[in-house]
């Protein structure tokens, strides 16, 4: 298909607009939602207000990079995951702007979900995974999901949830421990930088895995106890990533025992961690694939790419 699909994603963390065409990513603009120092997130009402303010400049920049005449469809994230009961107010901001743009440009509106966008973004450069079923592990502030994924139609995944965290999500653990150690929010980059400085790496935070589900609240408590006992911040930071690596390795080993071997795709903001990738490569027996780090955090690239696949019939 000649032309471009414009994608919009308004998550709990980032306002983003992207354009995807035959040549790939043509525009990628995103702005983090600002969180005060020491904060651990935003209320949904605050996120809606910030998206309302941050989205128009990104759309204007997209139109400066790509001619509006080339846009063949507008795609947007309507909800966190592809379920009828999945809802979050922050996504309404993007849906409203997407509807207005599609009507103004007289092009189709493609409604997608945030999780599918993450999976598609991680598949850029890993398209060979689309030929057969694979496992996807979606790690973010709102998800720690083990999924069975199969591409059944152009621009559409069949996603079967296999397991998840029963309490905290991976991104919440990283952010909460990071803020405790003095990092900004979101804390991923700073916490990983801190972990790299650890000279003693023997802190073993207990992993809690039951078949295809896990629990991470105990890991936060263990990290907090280590902090209160005076353990160096770098060692605690490394202990968090070591814990996540061991947890994911156990979950995937259990998935193989129950559902058989498949390649694994890591996606979501936490999956951008190079340290976590290194730990998984060392410990996991399955072939593990990672998207480009710049496409792992919340962004509209995957939404635009999925919309393009659907319009092009790929």
CATH code for the domain in which residue 221 is found = 3.30.420.40
Contact present, 30 and 59 (Cβ < 8 Å): no
The continuous run of DSSP H or E covering 8 comes out as strand 4-10
Contact present, 221 and 168 (Cβ < 8 Å): no
Span 89-111, average pLDDT: 97
Give me the sign of the Cα torsion angle 244, 246, 249, 250: negative
Q: What is the pLDDT of residue 126?
A: 95
Is 271 found in the same domain as 171?
Answer: yes
Asked if residue 281 belongs to a domain, the reply is yes
pLDDT tens for residues 225-255? 999 999 999 999 999 999 999 999 999 999 9
Q: How many CB atoms lie within 10 A of CB 184?
A: 16
Interatomic CA distance for residues 225 and 175, integer angstroms: 16
Interatomic CA distance for residues 93 and 96, integer angstroms: 5
Interatomic CA distance for residues 268 and 254, integer angstroms: 21
What are the respective helix, strand and coil percentages of the chain, to the nearest 5?
45, 25, 30
Asked if residue 132 belongs to a domain, the reply is no
Q: Which two tokens stand for residue 123?
A: 């598949």
Is 259 found in the same domain as 226?
Answer: yes
Span 264-288, average pLDDT: 94
Interatomic CA distance for residues 67 and 223, integer angstroms: 50
> 123 falls in which pLDDT band (50, 70, 90)?
very high
Q: Which two tokens stand for residue 223?
A: 């990290």
Phi then psi for residue 157, to 5 deg, are -105, 145
Q: Which two tokens stand for residue 292?
A: 């480009």
Q: What is the pLDDT of residue 1?
A: 73
Is 191 found in the same domain as 240?
Answer: yes
Is 259 found in the same domain as 301?
Answer: no
Is 305 found in the same domain as 264?
Answer: no
**Which of 12-21, 28-37, 212-221 shows the lowest mean pLDDT across its residues?**
28-37
Phi then psi for residue 214, to 5 deg, are -140, 170
Interatomic CA distance for residues 297 and 31, integer angstroms: 12
Asked if residue 153 belongs to a domain, the reply is no
Q: What is the pLDDT of residue 41?
A: 79
**Which of 36-50, 90-104, 198-212 shows the lowest mean pLDDT across its residues?**
36-50
Contact present, 28 and 309 (Cβ < 8 Å): no
Asked if residue 208 belongs to a domain, the reply is yes
Asked if residue 303 belongs to a domain, the reply is yes
pLDDT at residue 266 is higher than 70: yes
Q: What is the pLDDT of residue 16?
A: 98
pLDDT at residue 83 is higher than 90: no
> 283 falls in which pLDDT band (50, 70, 90)?
very high
Interatomic CA distance for residues 261 and 249, integer angstroms: 13
Q: What is the pLDDT of residue 314?
A: 59
Is 177 found in the same domain as 117?
Answer: no
Asked if residue 147 belongs to a domain, the reply is no
Interatomic CA distance for residues 25 and 8, integer angstroms: 14
pLDDT at residue 129 is higher than 90: yes
Name the residue with higher pLDDT: 174 or 155: 174
pLDDT tens for residues 291-302? 998 999 899 999
Domain tally, the chain: 2
pLDDT at residue 221 is higher than 80: yes
Asked if residue 137 belongs to a domain, the reply is no
Interatomic CA distance for residues 199 and 169, integer angstroms: 27
Mean pLDDT of the chain: 95
Q: What is the pLDDT of residue 153?
A: 79
Is 109 found in the same domain as 201?
Answer: no
Q: Tell me the residue range of the domain where 73 lies.
A: 4-125+295-312
Q: 244 in the Ramachandran plot: left (φ > 0), alpha (ψ -120 to 50) or beta? A: alpha
């Amino acid at each position: 298909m000649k032309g471009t699909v414009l994608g919009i994603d308004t998550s709990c963390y980032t306002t983003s607009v992207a354009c995807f065409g035959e040549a790939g990513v043509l525009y990628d603009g995103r702005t983090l939602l600002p969180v005060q120092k020491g904060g651990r997130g935003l209320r949904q009402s605050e996120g809606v207000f910030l998206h309302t303010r941050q989205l128009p400049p990104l759309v204007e920049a997209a139109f400066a990079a790509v001619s509006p005449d080339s846009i063949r469809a507008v795609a947007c994230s309507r909800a966190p995951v592809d379920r009828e009961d999945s809802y979050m107010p922050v996504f309404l901001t993007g849906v409203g702007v997407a509807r207005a743009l599609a009507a103004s440009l007289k092009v189709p509106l493609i409604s997608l979900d945030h999780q599918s966008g993450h999976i598609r973004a991680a598949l850029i450069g890993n398209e060979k995974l689309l030929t057969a079923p694979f496992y996807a592990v979606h790690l973010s502030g709102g998800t720690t999901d083990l999924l069975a994924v199969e591409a059944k139609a152009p621009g559409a995944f069949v996603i079967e949830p296999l397991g998840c965290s029963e309490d905290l999500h991976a991104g919440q653990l990283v952010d909460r421990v990071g803020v405790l150690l003095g990092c900004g929010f979101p804390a991923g980059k700073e916490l990983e930088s801190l972990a790299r400085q650890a000279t003693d790496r023997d802190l073993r935070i207990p992993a809690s895995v039951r078949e295809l589900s896990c629990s991470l609240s105990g890991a936060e408590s263990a990290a907090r106890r280590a902090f209160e006992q005076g353990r160096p911040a770098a060692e605690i930071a490394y202990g968090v990533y070591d814990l996540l690596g061991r947890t994911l390795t156990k979950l995937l080993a259990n998935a193989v025992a129950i559902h058989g071997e498949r390649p694994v795709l890591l996606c979501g903001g936490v999956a951008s961690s190079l340290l976590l990738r290194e730990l998984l490569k060392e410990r996991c027996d399955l072939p593990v694939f990672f998207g480009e780090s710049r496409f792992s955090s919340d962004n509209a690239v995957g939404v635009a790419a999925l919309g393009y696949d659907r319009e092009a019939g790929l």
